[in-house]
Structure formats: structure tokens, C-alpha cells
Structure 1
Amino acid sequence: MKRNVLITGTSSGVGLEASILFAKKGYKVYASMRNLAKATVLKEKIDEANLDIEILELDVTKVDSIKNAVETIIQKDGHIDVLVNNAGAGFAKTTEQASEEEIKWVTDVNYHGVVYCTQAVLPYMRKQKAGQIISVTSVGGLVGQPFNELYCGAKFAVEGYMEGLASYVSDAFNINFSCVEPGGISTEFMTSAVGKTVVEGQMATGEYLPIFQQYMDKSVSRASEGAAIVFQTGVEVAEVVLEVAENEHPPMRTRTSKWGEDLCELKTKTDPDGTKLVNQVKNAFL
């Protein structure tokens, strides 16, 4: 019997590439996205390689949409074996400058969506006493970064959420939890992040402007001088997601590049994959 995988945010980037890789590996893939009008590229890939991928509408900011997608899979196949929480969006703006609506949006897309998707699949994984939940977070879920504090805050929340679940759900119900932590990704995700700041004319102003200019100059310089080192492709990150899914003993967390490892070293050196901490928490509380 094929393992079923539900992947969110598959219209482009890591989600699209992961859908293709999982299907080629023999999974039945349910590729979900908020806007089905953006499914053109994925549909072309499905037709080209005759991939076992079904496209579903799923908006991670809407609980009813999530529940409907999960119920569709259960009614068709009766099981969900892997959930990949991939949907997310970049955001770079000062706390002072961000509107209430923007703060809610960046938290909903990057954190609440993970919780609601996980909440929707857990009952089925618990009943089948097997499952795997992988959340694509970020090095920003371990290291706070300039002008990204709201995004990092949401990703930090995902890391803590997954870590908390791993401390008691895994042993009781044979459900594994993992965070995949990319650094820079050369995909539509980065375009979106920049679009929320510079393109829309919402870059930092006033006393923040000199710092923001310094930040942007450093970002451009880093991209031009070491793009191959800093920025990964969607395929490269998707390959790590698949490796975690295929791992009999998956890590609690894993970075996807040397650049990411170096950035997070002070927080991860003594416990690179997060398993020591989870075990320590289990011993302390259970």
C-alpha cells in the first residue's frame, strides 16, 4: 500500500518540488494550495511524468478549508501517513511599522496554519498508530534576524510547537515530528518577502532607514558574491524533506545547508538534531 502524503503550499518552490519528488519515490501525493489557478506548472509536471499527484484546494489560514481537504483524503484512501507543513510567506518589516492586519497575517500563514493542519490529521494518525509530520520552518526559527522579527517569531513558535508534540505524542502513538530549516531559498518565496517590503514601497522609514539600507546592501552583496552558498533551490530543500520522510528515525530538526548550519551553530552545536533536548524534556516531565 502506498504511503499518502499531504503537502501544503505546492503551487511553486519547495512545495511543488517536494510533490514531484515524493510522487517519483512512490508516494500518493495530495498537493494542496490556496489558489488552484496557480496549479498550471504542477499539472504540466504531472502530465509529463504520469505522476500520482492529486491537487487539492487548501488555505492554511482557514480551518474549514483544511478540514475539507483532510476529509477528502480520508474518504478516498482512509489514511494520511505524512503531513508536510510547507506553506509559508516571508515578511520583512519593523514591528513599529507593521499593521495589526499584517501581524495577524504573517502569524496565521506561518504558525497558525501549521497548528490547524496538524490538528486536522492527528486523530487519524493516532488511530492508525503511525504517522509523520514535517514542518518546513527556517533558520529564522532558531535565530532572530534584523527586520524579520515577526516572521522569526512565527517560525520560533512552530519550532516550539513541534518540539512540544514530540515530547509526548511520538512515544505514545508512533507519530514522528520534524522541522526542516532552510536558509535562503531562490524561489517565489523570496520574491514574496521582498515584495512585502521594497516593491510595495513599505521599506523602513525614519530612524530605521539607515539600518534598513545597511541590511539591504548586505543582502544584495551576500546574494551576488555567494549565491550558490547562501541560496538553495527549491529542489535542494525538497530533497531534504524527502530524506527526513524516508528516515526510520527522523531528526527533530535539520538544517538544509552549511550556511544554515554555521548561522545556527551557537544554538545547535551540542544537540544538532534536537533529539537530546526532546529526551531531556521527556525525562523532566513524564
Structure 2
Amino acid sequence: MSKVVLITGTSTGVGLSLAVKMAEQGFKVFATMRNLAKAEKLKQQIIDKNLSIEILPLDVQDTQSIHDCVEKIISSVNRIDILINNAGAGFIKTTEHANEEEINWVTDVNYMGVVRCTKAVLPHMREAGSGHIINVTSVGGLVGQPFNEFYCAAKFAVEGYTESLATYIQPTFGIHFSLVEPGGISSEFANSVLQQIESTGGMKEDDYLPVLQKYISNAQSRAASDEGIYQSSEQVADVIISVAKNPQPPIRTRTSDWAESFTQLKTQADPTGIEQQKRVAQSIL
């Protein structure tokens, strides 16, 4: 029987590519998004490729929305084998410039959204004695970067959350946990970050301006170059699918050579995270 996968954030980018590719490869896909008005691209792919994908509403910031979606899937097919927490949002602003509402928002979307969705599916996976939760983070979940402190902090939180779950839920209940850590992605996600700067006040004339201008200029230059930094959504989706298909998946994996190089000082002793997981379990449990 086909494995049942629930994917968040499938209106664009990696989530859209994941839904299509996994359906093509025989998974039973439930593709979710906050705003179903943005489902047209996915609907067109379903028609063009004759795919079996069910689109459902799910807002990672709304516990009831998540509960309703999960219960609908369980009622329909009686299980969720894989949860891919893909929904997220970029955020570029200094600590001095960001207000508390913005900080709460980026933390809620990128971290609490993962917690809410994980909390909703865990009882069903635990009852089944199997499952796989894949959290899409970023190299920014391993390495802090300028002007990205709140985004990185939220992704760091997801990394710690996932590592902790893996130390006791995986060996006790047979549920695997994985982190997928892309570098740059050539998608609407990257474009939305620059749009977000403008929508939240743009670049202010202050002491930070020269550094921010340098940061943006370098980012645009890297995007225009061929240095292997930016991957397509399809390339990242392929890595996620390989993790989903792995019977003994890694705790963490990067999606490109550039991402490996960028995070090497943090990951070289234990690239997959499996040894650290074992050591923690042996030391504490």
C-alpha cells in the first residue's frame, strides 16, 4: 500500500515540487496550504500529469486548522506515514528594528508551526508504531547569519526540537525524525524575503544601512552567479524524497555541496547527527 504523506506549504517552491514528485513516485499525497486560493499552480500540475493529490487547507499558525486537517486524513485513510513540515517564511531585520509582533510572527510560523503539526500527528504514528517526521530547516538552522537572527533562531529551535524528539521517541516508538537543511533556493521564497524588507519599512537611513546594502548586494550577486549556492526547488525536493525513502534515515542532511561546505565546522564530526543521538540516549536514558 502507498505511504501516506502530509506536506505543509505546498502552494509554491519546494512544497509544490514535493507534492508533485511524491505523487509521481506513488505516495498518497495530502498537499496543504493556508490559502487555497493559491492552489492553482498545483491544481494545474494535477490535471497536466493526472496525479492523485488531495489538496486540503492547513494553517500552521492555527491549531484547530491543523487538527481538522489531520482528522480528515485519518478518517479518510486511517494513517499518516510521513509528515513533511515544509511551511516557513523568511525574515530580514535587525534586532533593533524588529518589533515584538514581527518577532513573534517569524517564530510562530517557522518554529511553533512545526511543533503544532508534529503534536497533531504523533499520537497516530505512536499508535501505529511507525512514522517519519521530516522538518525542512536551513543552513540557517546551524549557522547564524547577518540580518537573519530571528529566522535563524527559529530554525535553530526546530533543530533542537527535532534532535530531542529523536533521542527517545524514535527508539521507543519507531518514529523517525529528520532535518533537511538547504542552502539558497531559487524560488519565490527567496524573492519574498526582499519584498518583506520593503513591506516592513525598507532600508532605514541609520548606522545599519551600509552593512545591509552590502548584504543585499552580495546576495543578489550570488544569485546571479553560478557558484552552486542556489538550488532549484526540484533539486531540494529530490533530497527530501531520498530521506523519506530511506529505511534508516539520517537525523540531518544538507541538500548541496555548498550547504555542506558552509556548515562544515558545525557538522564534520557527525554529519548525519546519528552518533550524537546515540550518545545522548546512552548518557541520559
Q: TM-score, normalised by structure 2?
A: 0.98
1:179 aligns with 2:179: yes
Does the CA contact (< 8 Å) of 1:94 and 1:204 recur in 2?
no
Give me the whole-angstrom Cα distance separating, in 1, the residues matched to 2:112 and 2:202: 25
Report what 1:73 is aligned to. 73
Shift of 1:201: 3.9
**SS of alignment partner, residue 90 of structure 2:** coil
Report what 1:23 is aligned to. 23
Report what 2:257 is aligned to. 258
1:127-183 deviation line (CA, Å, top 9, x unaligned): 000000000000000000000000000000000000000000001111000000000
Report what 2:40 is aligned to. 40
Report what 2:98 is aligned to. 98
**Matched residue type, 1:247:** N
Does the CA contact (< 8 Å) of 1:137 and 1:181 recur in 2?
yes
Shift of 1:221: 1.9
Gaps spanning 5+ residues in structure 2: where? none
Identify which range, 8-17 or 196-205, moves more after superposition: 196-205
Give me the whole-angstrom Cα distance separating, in 2, the residues matched to 1:9 and 1:64: 17
Give me the whole-angstrom Cα distance separating, in 1, the residues matched to 2:16 and 2:112: 21
Q: Which runs of 4+ in 1 moved over 2 A?
A: 198-205
Shift of 1:191: 1.3
Identify which range, 46-55 or 124-133, moves more after superposition: 46-55
**SS of alignment partner, residue 143 of structure 1:** coil
State the percentage of identical aligned residues.
55
1:159 aligns with 2:159: yes
Give me the whole-angstrom Cα distance separating, in 2, the residues matched to 1:235 and 1:197: 26
Matches within 5 A, 1:269-284: 269-284=268-283
Give me the whole-angstrom Cα distance separating, in 2, the residues matched to 1:279 and 1:8: 29
Does the CA contact (< 8 Å) of 1:5 and 1:30 recur in 2?
yes
Aligned-residue RMSD, C-alpha: 1.0
1:245 aligns with 2:244: yes
Shift of 1:203: 2.4
Report what 2:189 is aligned to. 189
**SS of alignment partner, residue 179 of structure 1:** strand
Give me the whole-angstrom Cα distance separating, in 1, the residues matched to 2:11 and 2:209: 34
Report what 1:136 is aligned to. 136
1:235 aligns with 2:234: yes
How many equivalent pairs are there?
Answer: 285
**SS of alignment partner, residue 134 of structure 1:** strand
**Matched residue type, 2:283:** A
**SS of alignment partner, residue 207 of structure 1:** coil
**SS of alignment partner, residue 225 of structure 2:** helix
> Structure 1 residues 205, 275: CA separation in 2 closer, same or farther (over 3 Å shift)?
farther
**Matched residue type, 1:231:** Y
Report what 1:3 is aligned to. 3
**Matched residue type, 1:71:** E
**SS of alignment partner, residue 5 of structure 1:** strand
**Matched residue type, 2:277:** V
Give me the whole-angstrom Cα distance separating, in 2, the residues matched to 1:230 and 1:199: 26
Shift of 1:232: 0.6
Does the CA contact (< 8 Å) of 1:7 and 1:30 recur in 2?
yes
Q: TM-score, normalised by structure 1?
A: 0.98
**Matched residue type, 1:174:** G
Gaps spanning 5+ residues in structure 1: where? none
